[in-house]
Chains A and B, each alone.
Chain A
Amino acid sequence: MTLLQKSLILFGLVVAILALASAIGAWLARKTTSESGLATVENLNARIKAWWVMIAIFAACYALGFSATVLLFALTSFYTLREFISLTPTQRADHAPLAFAFYVLLPLQYWLVWSGWYGLFTILIPVYGFLLLPSLASLQGDPANFLSRVSRIQWAVMLTVYCISHAPALIRLEIPGYEGQGFLLLFFLTAVVQFSDVMQYVFGKLMGKTKLAPVISPSKTVEGLVGGGLSAMALGAALWWITPFSPAVAAAMAGMIVIAGFLGGLSLSGVKRSMGAKDWGTMVQGHGGVLDRMDSVSFAAPLFFHLTRYLYAV
């Protein structure tokens, strides 16, 4: 099968699933009468609508090519970094390191993804950014809460720029016998992460009893995690034909993505709650902010990238 054939099948499948979800949502909206039930259905339908938009953007990027996809993820990093910094208390002296993060590190990191300069891509933020951000902050001459101020910025940039940039970098991985099909790896990652999020939500709503971390993230349950995780692994195995993996490895990769994504969601809930917020923003209807949708991806993308690279790339 060629890349185009595979892509068309996948696109058709996604549209069919979303159409089914929309139909169920419309049916539920007509059938539900209780007030709390209606609120849940309304939120569900808003989420489905946002899914259509996200799929349309994804498809458009695929059609426009690699550069458009890199640009899309650069914008995603921009919006998630903006959400993170907006929620974080910053001081006047943080202006210079923040400007450096937004206007230098972010574009540079995505230029490195685009140009394929792997060596610098891996160390730009963890080495150069790590050292330069506190240097810039120290030049402002304000020692108040210095460590926590600098750490917040370093954390934000690592998470929203460095980690997320590994998703489009998947496209550039050189895997023998899999040339030019990197976009499908990005699809695999995105599909598994998002499907796992949805199924964890569904299983949690239907049979969730045992809360995993009641204070940090009250909606996460053991039943949700197991049900959602197994569904996502089944999806991963079923998608083995678009990857360089065997069905068993595809399921294992999906399992790893689920666990990383779960931990990402949990850690970021911790960050959010420490700052007194429930959502990162209001940009995506029904989902909260962009970072609420990307929290799992940010943890899963670098791990998936490096495991695949270590095991399969030249």
Chain B
Amino acid sequence: MIDLVLIGLTRFLVGGHSRWTGSAPVERQRIYFANHGSHLDTLLLWSALPKQLRATTHAAAAADYWGTGPMKRFIAQKGLNAVLIDRSGSSAPGEALEPLRKTLLEGHSLILFPEGTRSANRLPGPFKSGLYRLAKEFPDAELIPVYLDNPARAMPKGALLPLPIICSAHFGPAFARVENEEKEAFLLRAQATVSALAPPTAEALTS
């Protein structure tokens, strides 16, 4: 029920349509990884998925935002099916990923924002290593890059209210794993794959 309300609100305010190129919304284990610029991102990506996929897809959400206060926690866990993770950095490397491993072990899919924090730019910044680790530990999970277009305009960092600006989610072809690839090379390649899905801007079209 709460999920339908959230999706209805998302559609009304920002549209949130999805475009799939090179991959399709089918039921199989996946790790979706996307650029991160807004608190709307989780909601947008999640509501861009069809209903049967949403049931087994969990977004990794920062505990220091979505876990604060009963309202946000309720929306994140009951509405968005999210897994709360600690990004304070106080735990040992890789330990913060524990709840995500648990989800993947159950055969479910994940939504990751590998930048770890919201950036103000149109294209994603450097990726953190979580995606690399999980991709290595779960070789059967398909890696799907996603570019989220406009949510940072609809609700930028520090804004209290989202604006009605049309946003969309662009799903790309599955990201190929290269044997024996170094962590840095993998992360750079993943970051570039998400950037490549970004549609050209109005300025680029007119200049």
| Residues of chain A at the chain B interface (Cβ within 8 Å) | 78, 81-83, 85-90, 92, 95, 98-99, 102-103, 274-277, 281-282
Q: Give the nearest-CB partner of B165 in chain A.
A: A86
Assess whether A82 is in contact with B156, with CB atoms less than 8 Å apart: no
Would A276 and B166 count as touching, CB distance under 8 A?
A: no
Known: A90-B153, A95-B156. A276 touches B206 (CB 8 A): yes
- Contact between A275 and B206 (Cβ–Cβ < 8 Å)? yes
13 residue pairs of the A-B complex, CB under 8 angstroms, read: A82-B166, A85-B165, A86-B150, A88-B202, A89-B202, A92-B120, A95-B163, A98-B163, A99-B161, A99-B163, A275-B205, A275-B206, A276-B202
CA distance A102 to B206 in the complex (A): 27
Measured between beta carbons, the chain A residues less than 8 angstroms from B120 are 92
In the complex the two chains form, what is the Cα distance from A78 to B203 in whole Å? 25
Chain A nearest CB, measured from B35 CB (Å): 17
Does B90 lie at the interface of the complex (its beta carbon under 8 Å from any beta carbon of A)?
no
- In angstroms, Cα B153 to Cα A98, docked, is 11
B124-168 interface with A by 8 A CB criterion: 150, 153, 156, 159, 161, 163-166
Q: Which residues of A contact B165 (CB under 8 A)?
A: 82, 85-86, 90
Residue from the list B159, B164, B166, B202 in contact with A78, Cβ < 8 A: B164
* Distance A75 CA – B13 CA, assembled complex (angstroms): 12
Specify which chain A residues have a CB less than 8 angstroms from the CB of B203 in the assembled complex.
Answer: 89
Give the CA-CA distance A88 to B166 in the complex, in Å.
11
Contact A277 B202 (CB under 8 A): yes
Secondary structure call for the B interface: loop
Chain B, Cβ-Cβ closest to A275 = B202
Chain B residue total in the interface (Cβ 8 A):
17
Select from chain A the residue with minimum beta-carbon distance to B207.
A276
Q: Are A95 and B166 in contact (CB under 8 A)?
A: no
A82 to B159, CA, bound (A): 18
Contact of A95 with B206 in the complex, beta carbons under 8 Å: no
Interface assignment of B201: CB less than 8 Å from any CB of chain A? yes
Given known contacts A78-B164, A282-B17, what 7 new A-B pairs fall within 8 Å (CB)? A89-B203, A90-B165, A92-B120, A95-B156, A95-B159, A276-B202, A276-B205
Query: Which residues on B sit within 8 Å (CB–CB) of A83?
Result: 166
What is the CA–CA distance of A88 and B203 in the complex, to the nearest angstrom?
10
Of the candidates B17, B204, B206, the one whose C-beta lies within 8 Å of that of A274 is: B206
- A306 smallest CB distance to B (angstroms): 29
Those of B181-207 within 8 Å (CB) of chain A:
201-206
CA distance A281 to B204 in the complex (A): 19
A contact residues around B17 at 8 Å (CB): 282
* B204: nearest chain-A partner, CB-CB: A276
A90 contact set on B, CB distance < 8 A: 153, 165
Docked CA distance A82–B162 (Å): 12
The distance in angstroms between the C-alpha atoms of A85 and B164, with both chains bound, is 9
Q: Sorted from nearest, which 9 A-B pairs have the closest CB atoms?
A: A276-B205, A86-B166, A82-B164, A276-B206, A275-B202, A86-B165, A276-B202, A92-B156, A98-B163
